[in-house]
Structure 1
Amino acid sequence: MAADDEKSRSSHSAAPDDGQDDERDQDKSESIALPSHVAGSGTLDRLVDTARDYARAAASENTLKAYSKDWKHFARWCRLKGTEPLPPSTEMIGLYLADLASGSGPSPALSVSTIERRLSGLSWNYAQRGFTFDRKDRHIATVLAGIKRKHARPPVQKEAILREDILAMVATLPYDLRGLRDRAILLLGYAGGLRRSEIVSLDVGKDDTPDSGGWIDILDQGALLTLNAKTGWREAEIGRGSSDQTCPVHALEQWLHFARIDFGPVFTRTSRNGNKALEDRLSDKHVARLIKRCVLEAGIRSELPEKDRLALFSGHSLRAGLASSAEVDERYVQKHLGHASAEMTRRYQRRRDRFRVNLTKAAGL
């Protein structure tokens, strides 16, 4: 791997840069302050700082970044139209949604799911600024309903990485320190059905670092992962594999041993020559880049052009692969992935016997 692969690169932003005009909007947790009629003190000031820290933790880092980009895009759009984003105007928000859906100007039309996410981002940003708007207002609700009716499509799903794929992918990795780490990432992410953010947020032990998203306990029979996921805390059990070459727990043990990691982040960057593990936690973008690189090197879907192959796979391909490949009762997969409903689990199962339960015959027909 090239040395610069170890660095976290920011993904290209879909929102135009607003420049300095929106610097004041970047951290609205700062708006949490004492009431104007209360005199400050050392204790109260410390509590304000604590409350701001909790406010920043109200959503994941990736969600907050997305919401920040949503606000910048909307604020710039408003100013280009000769108005201001504050206070909220349901009429202007409705026009903004229509513009996103129609793709007027140089920007392409956005999907319904992205438009709904933008609306959620606006709602969150207005709330941080002490404003609210009624999403059921006719200027917003009817426009959004029309957009859904006219433009809604089934969600585009990433390709699942199946058993034969993951074996081919890990086979492309060398057995140097960096290769040991990346092998553990792929196998653990696949066997755990983990999101890429969950993989890189793991610590060796509980409460090792303030930014931890969970920790690992390695036991005789496997590894127990305690995760602070999107839907709350959950546990994922990863049993040992049938051979050391494909066992995620063995791969994890090998990485931790040779990297000499016994505290803090499980997956860290390595030195430029790849011979030493550093202290910095890996970015979740590394997982996505790793998957795409290994897909190409393993020759998966080689009948397609490289650009199309890269577009098919993402960090979620590991999670979908586990859901699609594990031949067990659906409820065990649902629990393992931390899904609230079986319907959500089925969205991840790219191949399954849809007619295993035949209600037609069960009804006597």
Structure 2
Amino acid sequence: MKQKRQPQNRQKPPSKPFYGPFPDARSESDVASDEAKHAPHQIAVPAALAGSGALDRLVETARDYARQATAENTNTAYAKDWAHYTSWCRRRGANVLPPSPELIGLYIASCAAPEAKAPARSTRALSVSTIERRLSGIAWHYQQRGFALDRKDRHIATVLAGIRRKHARPPVQKEAVLAEDIRAMIATLPFDLRGLRDRAILLIGYAGGLRRSEIVSLDHGKDDTLDSGGWIEIEDDGAVLFLRGKTGWREVEIGRGSAEHTCPVHALEQWLHYAKIDFGPLFRRISRDNKRALQARLSDKHVARLIKQTVLDAGIRSELPETERLALFSGHSLRAGLASSAEVDERYIQKHLGHASAEMTRRYQRRRDRFRVNLTKAAGL
């Protein structure tokens, strides 16, 4: 006779401790993606009020406005910073909330001098600027959760000061695209629809001293799309760009050039005519057969890729290996190129670029004023 098997008292395995607002099973990239959408918007109906459809709609509206408080790229970067920090805390069994200056001091020390046994993706020491940006991202996320992080606390401030003193390096600036460079770059482009678009992007970006995000955010007219970052008005003497930048709205005047093949306004008119654009995003994706412009707005990453590719095709800085040449140039090369090439009073460049201070403008002027004033000779030597 078979004996009845007694049920075993199996103990439920303990769940993993949860040391932050994110489950351990999710990857850092998933966390960062989700945070970029939701983290800045810890906005809800007050507990004292009863919920309703109207209040729920107001909550969504308030969250939409909160998303616009910082640039999309900033939100994405801060989300990655927070995901990295929370992952670092989880691996050490530390609580993320409430903020601990002592813990954050250890974290930034780990970023500057990674542990030898850390995962391979974490072994690379971060630059001082990246550590400072991560600290800003962490502080921002704590603020969204109702906590204040005192970055002047000695556990953070003294460690960061030591990191700056030991590891700080001169800032690495991207190479400026000068006038002869931009002429060589546009000469590599064909005269098909894609070539017309890319030529207009390079010339408008250069003559306007624009960031790549500003270039692709432009619409044909005012209020054409919800995600518009500005619009353009073409006049007889040139074009006026109305831009929503980091410092607010500003107007940028782009005059007509001295030659038709290098005129940014003419290049833009050609693109708009053959792409048949009279409404919506100014710069768009193109169909695979290269015969029509699509409705989708172009990504700002295309601008960076375009600059790098045309720099290679034009043979700029050909004395260097290809990898070094690619690393030298980026979207900011157009902005720095205008500031370095335009031989006009500095205050006009400052206004054109939308800088709040002349000091910021001078950072963009690559070697423009070197030795223009020789104090050695002026001192009698």
TM-score, length-scaled by structure 2? 0.88
Residue in 2 aligned with 1:86?
97
With over 3 angstroms needed to count, the CA separation of the structure-2 counterparts of 1:110 and 1:204, relative to structure 1, is same
Deviations 1:101-158 (A, max 9, x none): 1133432111111111111101111111122211111111111111111111110001
Is the 2:219–2:228 contact (alpha carbons within 8 Å) kept by the matching residues of 1? yes
Any gaps of 5 or more consecutive residues in structure 2?
A: 1-25
**1:262 paired to 2:272:** no
> Using a 3 Å threshold, how does the CA distance of structure 1 residues 21 and 204 change in structure 2: closer, same or farther?
closer
Q: Which moved more, 1:126-135 or 1:103-112?
A: 103-112
Q: Matches of 1:307 and 1:237 in 2, distance apart? A: 35
1:159 paired residue number: 175
Cα deviation code 1:260-282 (max 9, x no counterpart): 11111100000011111000000
Kept after mapping to 1: 8 A contact 2:257/2:264 = yes
Q: Does 1:120 align with 2:130?
A: no
Moved more, 242-251 or 127-136: 127-136
- Aligned counterpart, 1:3: none
Give the 5 Å matches for 1:171-182: 171-182=187-198
| 1:28-177 alignment runs, 5 A limit | 28-104=39-115, 105=118, 106=120, 107-177=123-193
Secondary structure in structure 1 of the residue aligned to 2:262: coil
List alignment gaps of at least 5 residues for structure 1.
1-15
* Partner Cα distance (2:32, 2:372) in 1: 55
* One-letter identity of the residue aligned with 2:216: V
- Say how many residue pairs are matched: 350
Write out per-residue CA displacement over residues 164-194 of structure 1, whole angstroms, 9 at most, x where no aligned residue.
1100100000000000000000000000000
C-alpha distance in 2, partners of 1:260/1:81? 58
Partner AA of 1:199 in structure 2: I
> Which whole-Å deviations, capped at 9, do the CAs of 1:289-326 have from their partners, x for residues lacking one?
00011011111111111111100000000001111111
Shift of 1:47: 1.3
Amino acid at match of 1:37: A
Residues 99, 142 of structure 2: 8 Å contact kept: yes
Give the whole-Å Cα distance in 1 for the aligned partners of 2:241 and 2:342: 19
Q: Residue 50 of structure 1: CA displacement?
A: 0.9
Q: Distance in 1 between matches of 2:298 and 2:33?
A: 27
Equivalent of 1:332 in 348, 357, 361: 348
Aligned mates of 1:278, 1:334 — CA distance in 2: 35
Residue 20 of structure 1: CA displacement?
6.2
Q: Which residue of structure 1 lines up, in the alignment, with residue 324 of structure 2?
A: 308
What is the distance in 2 between the residues matched to 1:135 and 1:56? 24
Q: Max radius of gyration: which structure?
A: 2
Is residue 286 from structure 1 mapped to residue 296 from structure 2 by the alignment?
A: no
Seq. identity, %:
74
Q: Deviations over 1:310-345 (max 9, x none)?
A: 000000000011111111111111111111111111
Q: CA deviation at 1:358?
A: 5.7
State the alpha-carbon separation in 2 of the partners of residues 235 and 359 from structure 1: 37
Q: Which has the higher contact order (CA 8 A, sep 6+)?
A: 1
User: Under a length normalisation based on structure 1, what TM-score does the superposition of the two structures give?
Assistant: 0.91
Where does 1:151-300 land on structure 2 (aligned, <5 Å)?
Answer: 151-300=167-316
